[in-house]
Amino acid sequence: MTSETPVLREMRWWDIEPVLELEKELFPDDAWSRGMFWSELAHARGPGASRRYVAAVDGERIVGYAGLAAVGGLGDIQTIAVAREQWGTGLGSALLTDLLRHATAFECTEVLLEVRVDNERAQKLYERFGFEPIGFRRGYYQPGNVDALVMRLTDPASAPATPSASASVEETPVQGTETHG
Ligand SMILES: CC(C)(COP(=O)(O)OP(=O)(O)OC[C@H]1O[C@@H](n2cnc3c(N)ncnc32)[C@H](O)[C@@H]1OP(=O)(O)O)[C@@H](O)C(=O)NCCC(=O)NCCS
């Protein structure tokens, strides 16, 4: 069953298998392993939590996910992904908005990310939120030896909200690698 508007909620360990399916489709060259997701989610709950992982759910299907790490006032977008048939509906923006809201709650003063130099779609998304290019990491994506563009957003609290919200958010309290974000 599908609903018109995906719902955003905290990603939990039982989401890892469907997320892995999407991960392999969307990042065929450098998909994260099951262990990487387990390790990230292990830091997403409890005292000292330093991660926010969010899933977008359409009916019972996971159609997107994203993750943020926050350490010492610095946020890092770890990954962001949307099922191909949902591209261009604003879901990527909704996921990024969620991560930036949590970056603010984690008291991050800046947020960094790496993005493949050939991923123009993702770069445009980040630019719309105020991220600016600050450098390159040569050969960051292996295999393939593709460079990463490093982008930075200062003051995530003042980033624009979702331009056109395409997902509703289940309110959850903030509890606070090679990356895809
Ligand atoms: C990058 C990615 C997450 C973007 O997700 P998305 O859901 O397509 O993002 P959005 O819909 O919010 O924005 C994409 C475009 O749709 C447009 N859009 C936003 N809301 C819209 C709406 N309601 N109706 C129509 N178009 C809309 C946006 O203007 C944007 O266009 P622009 O970039 O030309 O300005 C997605 O393409 C993806 O998963 N790619 C593969 C994985 C990946 O590369 N991840 C990033 C790693 S760094």
CATH code, 34: 3.40.630.30
CB 98 within 8 A of CB 8: yes
Nearest CA to ligand 1 atom 16: 88
Asked if the structure places residue 96 within a domain, the reply is yes
Looking at the structure of the chain, the number of domains it has is: 1
Average pLDDT, the chain: 91
CA distance 168 to 8: 6
CA distance 38 to 126: 26
Structure tokens of 117? 């130099």
Asked if the structure places residue 165 within a domain, the reply is yes
Asked if the structure places residue 2 within a domain, the reply is no
Q: Which single residue is written with the structure tokens 């359409």?
A: 58
Asked if the structure places residue 52 within a domain, the reply is yes
pLDDT at 176: 42
Residue 171 has pLDDT above 80, yes or no: no
Is the CB of 99 inside a 6 Å radius of any atom of ligand 1? no
Asked if the structure places residue 59 within a domain, the reply is yes
Asked if the structure places residue 30 within a domain, the reply is yes
Instruction: Give the pLDDT band (50/70/90) at residue 174.
Output: very low
Atom of ligand 1 nearest to the CA of 113: 48
Is the CB of 180 inside a 6 Å radius of any atom of ligand 1? yes
Asked if the structure places residue 44 within a domain, the reply is yes
pLDDT at 161: 66
pLDDT single digits (tens) 79-135: 999 999 999 999 999 999 999 999 999 999 999 999 999 999 999 999 999 999 999
Is the CB of 63 inside a 6 Å radius of any atom of ligand 1? no
Residue 86: domain span: 7-111+161-169
Is the CB of 112 inside a 6 Å radius of any atom of ligand 1? no
pTM above 0.75, yes or no: yes
pLDDT single digits (tens) 36-60: 999 999 999 999 999 999 999 999 9
Asked if the structure places residue 1 within a domain, the reply is no
Residue 168 has pLDDT above 80, yes or no: no
